[in-house]
């Protein structure tokens, strides 16, 4: 089963895709789809987390980066860690995910604007196509701090 069948899947660049919940069967096929790295923003204690995700990814020879972003208390440190992981892997085929692609879309959109690969409007449209930050004050505040207002 392809990673493209994951919840809220988006192809962000030729080398970068994102999604919500991936599921163990999709993870097992990443090497066959030529992925080289997985970045996971979903805390392991989440009800949506895949048990032993890191092992499933690393057994295929892929790199695994775990940045547990607390939905209730996202931070600029979480964002900076995500930016570092994205920048370090920008030439490698990478999949980044969380529970619903909300954490990822927020962070990636701010990153894309800061890198000048997306306009502010493109970033807002991307996020709004998945969720509404206005309904989550902690995220609305963090996104505004990162330069993206809603």
CATH number, residue 75: 3.90.190.10
Chain centroid to CA 150: how far? 20
In a domain, 19, yes or no: yes
What's the pLDDT score for residue 1? Answer: 83
Claim: this prediction has a pTM higher than 0.85: yes
Domain count, the chain: 1
Sheet holding 16-19, edge to edge: 10-13, 16-19, 94-97, 37-40, 63-66
What's the pLDDT score for residue 150? Answer: 86
**C-beta of residue 30 within 8 angstroms of C-beta of residue 4:** no
What's the pLDDT score for residue 116? Answer: 96
What's the pLDDT score for residue 142? Answer: 98
In a domain, 90, yes or no: yes
Domain that holds residue 69: 3-104
Structure tokens that stand for 119 in this block: 């306009």
In a domain, 62, yes or no: yes
Compute the C-alpha angle 145/47/88, nearest 5°: 50
pLDDT along the chain (150 residues), means of 10: 95 98 93 98 96 96 98 98 98 98 98 97 97 97 95
């Amino acid at each position: 089963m392809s990673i493209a069948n994951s919840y809220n899947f988006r192809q962000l660049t030729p080398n970068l895709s994102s999604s919500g919940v991936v599921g163990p069967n999709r993870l097992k096929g990443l090497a066959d789809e030529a992925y080289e790295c997985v970045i996971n923003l979903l805390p392991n204690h989440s009800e949506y987390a895949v048990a032993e995700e890191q092992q499933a990814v690393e057994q295929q020879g892929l790199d695994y980066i775990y940045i547990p972003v607390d939905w209730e208390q996202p931070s600029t440190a979480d964002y900076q860690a995500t930016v570092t992981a994205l920048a370090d892997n920008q030439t490698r085929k990478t999949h980044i995910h969380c529970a619903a692609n909300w954490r990822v879309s927020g962070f990636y959109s701010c990153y894309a604007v800061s890198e000048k690969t997306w306009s502010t409007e493109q970033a807002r449209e991307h996020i709004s196509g998945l969720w509404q930050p206005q309904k989550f004050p902690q995220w609305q505040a963090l996104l505004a701090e990162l330069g993206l207002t809603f």
